[in-house]
Structure 1
């Protein structure tokens, strides 16, 4: 089997994301004819049609959709190998931890305190990123470890350790008809406008709003009555005065998980995972009243 080159994967991803050869060529900084020839040659070598072309549109075939997903993973893996090798080669090695605001389930301080006591610990850099950015950062090597939220974040290709389970709440503007209720069911939110998150298909929503990328943007939209949101209960810590959070009785629970790339052999990463698991266990025991949470 002829294995595609990284260059060919880059070409295909650009065309598949733009669904237009001219825009893809412009994005890649090349002329359109050689790009078209490269994609046609790739399809011949693979023996499968990746794109349906008409005079008006370019569409992904079923095979093309699968190849797009796998090509992105392959390109991320190449980027990750370079970035992690560069970090490992530094005279002062460090780990990078990615998380969204409040995405640690309240455990970060305890985790870092325990981690620093481990003989395998190195310096750690914590990057607080936008909503939905942690998994891509971990996937392409910008981060070594990340706090993710299951089931919302894509954990494929990662090993994970569950840290904290959380129930979900409905986030509503204070003037909303349901804001005074003690609890709600998901059916009560039928017909409400919900957020579009990064990576969601814009064609699958009818909100007319950009993707929500950070908690301040979300609070603003809820406070203005433009949407309601279903989120883990820890969001209460960020709620603005004119936003209320009402428990959802039938919403599936979420979980904060710590994630790292599969087959990682880093002793420093292993030490951070141990510290995370210990902090989560101590927090759970403290909540149950069986022992005090260490300072």
Structure 2
């Protein structure tokens, strides 16, 4: 038996055909493998995982002009796109949106922050929308008593002074103080018959809000005269400008009993002013004023 293979021409042809087919198959498989790798976009050699994925976060505050308008401040990190849900059906994709709610209440606000690799982070917080407490204006030395200012100071009329000299050339000299008749305490403001004095006090208020000023007054039975309270839309130093600055005014003239105080009031809207002036003047008859107050309507 021949231990060595001695191929014939036919054997060599068969062998070569088999090897060509084998190499073609290997080539096709290699091509498929390379194509599959390109479609999958495998990470490059030495690439690192994202060490700064997005983290959602936000703060919020009510707008000074309207407590129903909420301004959101985005505190997210490593993010480029944002999706907000405001809890009332409203949405936004802005980074720092503002949203107007229809009413007070508690709303669940959600924020999803994403980056360019489509990684995302979400956060939800409850926010409570409350109507802010109404500012309560106040009057200094309202009953014209001594010691009503800070530290027990004040002579009952310090808060009612205005510079510029006596009326009518100036805004008015300082009011006088009387010990009788009085309604409460020991003192009241007095406006003598010469019409030179005035009570003037600046009061902080809220713009475009309704107020009522109340006061008690009495006046002598003669001569015939009156007492006027004016609400001015800001500080005034020239009496010629009083009429143009007047928001509201009221003149009273009950002279039936010089010893009995009568309550009166005047209502007004502050309009564009956040600082108004209460301005008392008299005409021809001695008048007294007590217990001045201002309240929200």
Q: Give the TM-score, by structure 1 length.
A: 0.24
Higher RCO (CA < 8 A, seq sep 6+): 1
Considering fraction of residues, name the structure with more strand: 2
Report the TM-score, using the length of structure 2 for normalisation: 0.24
The structure with the largest alpha-carbon Rg is 2
